[in-house]
Structure 1
Amino acid sequence: MPHAYSRAQKAHEDNTDGIRLQKLLAQAGFGSRRKCEEMITDGRVEVDGELVTELGSRVDPSKQQIRVDGSRVRINTNHVTLALNKPRRVLSAMDDPKGRFTLRDIVGDKYDRIFHMGRLDYESEGLLLMTNDGELSQHVMHPKYEVEKTYIATLEGKISGTVCRRLVTTGVQLDDGWIKLDRCSILDSNRDSTIVKVVLHSGKNRIVRRIFGSIGYPVKRLVRTQIGPIKLGDLKPGSYRVLSQTEIRSLSKEVGL
Structure 2
Amino acid sequence: MEERLQKIISRAGVASRRKAEEMIAAGRVTVDGVTVREPGTKADVAVACIAVDGKPLPEEEGRVYFLLNKPKGYISTVSDERGRRTVIDLLPVKKAHVYPVGRLDQNTEGLLLLTNDGTLTQGLLHPRFLVRKTYRAKVAGELTPKALKKLRGGLELADGMTAPAEVRVYGTTDQGLVDVEITLHEGRNRQVRRMFEAVGCDVRALKRTRFAQLTLDGLKRGACRPLTKAEIASLYSLVEER
> Could you tell me the TM-score, scaled by structure 2's length?
0.70
Counterpart CA distance in 1 for 2:148 and 2:234 is 30
2:172 equivalent to 1:172: no
Aligned to 1:231: 215
Stretches of 4+ moved more than 4 A in 1? none
Query: 8 Å contact 2:147–2:199 — kept in the other structure?
Result: no
2:187 equivalent to 1:203: yes
Structure having the higher Rg: 1
Aligned to 1:46: none
What secondary structure, in the 3-state scheme, does the structure 2 residue paired with 1:84 have?
strand
The CA RMSD measured in Å over matched residues stands at 1.9
Counterpart CA distance in 2 for 1:113 and 1:180 is 33
Counterpart CA distance in 1 for 2:113 and 2:163 is 24
What secondary structure, in the 3-state scheme, does the structure 1 residue paired with 2:86 have?
coil
Encode CA deviations 1:69-126: one digit per residue, 9 max, x unaligned.
xxxxxxx991111100111110101211111111121015533521111000111110
Counterpart CA distance in 1 for 2:232 and 2:63 is 11
Query: 8 Å contact 1:188–1:194 — kept in the other structure?
Result: yes
Query: 8 Å contact 1:112–1:132 — kept in the other structure?
Result: no
What secondary structure, in the 3-state scheme, does the structure 1 residue paired with 2:149 have?
helix
Aligned to 1:184: 167
Alignment of 1:146-165 (within 5 A): 146-165=130-149
Query: 8 Å contact 2:124–2:131 — kept in the other structure?
Result: yes
Counterpart CA distance in 2 for 1:155 and 1:229 is 25
Q: Does 215-224 or 111-120 show the bigger shift? A: 111-120
What secondary structure, in the 3-state scheme, does the structure 1 residue paired with 2:142 have?
coil
Structure 1 residues 218 and 246, CA gap change in structure 2 (3 angstroms)? same
Counterpart CA distance in 1 for 2:157 and 2:108 is 20
- Name structure 1 gaps, 5 residues minimum: 1-75
Q: CA deviation at 1:201?
A: 0.7
Query: 8 Å contact 1:164–1:185 — kept in the other structure?
Result: no
What secondary structure, in the 3-state scheme, does the structure 2 residue paired with 1:186 have?
strand
**Which residue identity does 1:211 align to in structure 2?**
M
Q: CA deviation at 1:165?
A: 3.2
Selected match of 2:110 from 116, 119, 126: 126
**Which residue identity does 1:110 align to in structure 2?**
K
Query: 8 Å contact 1:161–1:186 — kept in the other structure?
Result: no
Query: 8 Å contact 2:137–2:179 — kept in the other structure?
Result: yes
- Name structure 2 gaps, 5 residues minimum: 1-59
> Could you tell me the TM-score, scaled by structure 1's length?
0.66
Structure 1 residues 115 and 243, CA gap change in structure 2 (3 angstroms)? same
Counterpart CA distance in 2 for 1:126 and 1:203 is 15
The total of aligned residue pairs comes to: 181
Counterpart CA distance in 1 for 2:144 and 2:64 is 43
Q: CA deviation at 1:161?
A: 4.6
What secondary structure, in the 3-state scheme, does the structure 1 residue paired with 2:178 have?
strand
Aligned to 1:221: 205
What secondary structure, in the 3-state scheme, does the structure 2 residue paired with 1:98 have?
coil
Aligned to 1:47: none
- Percent of aligned positions with the same letter in both sequences? 36
What secondary structure, in the 3-state scheme, does the structure 1 residue paired with 2:207 have?
strand
Encode CA deviations 1:17-58: one digit per residue, 9 max, x unaligned.
xxxxxxxxxxxxxxxxxxxxxxxxxxxxxxxxxxxxxxxxxx
Aligned to 1:78: 62
Structure 1 residues 204 and 211, CA gap change in structure 2 (3 angstroms)? same
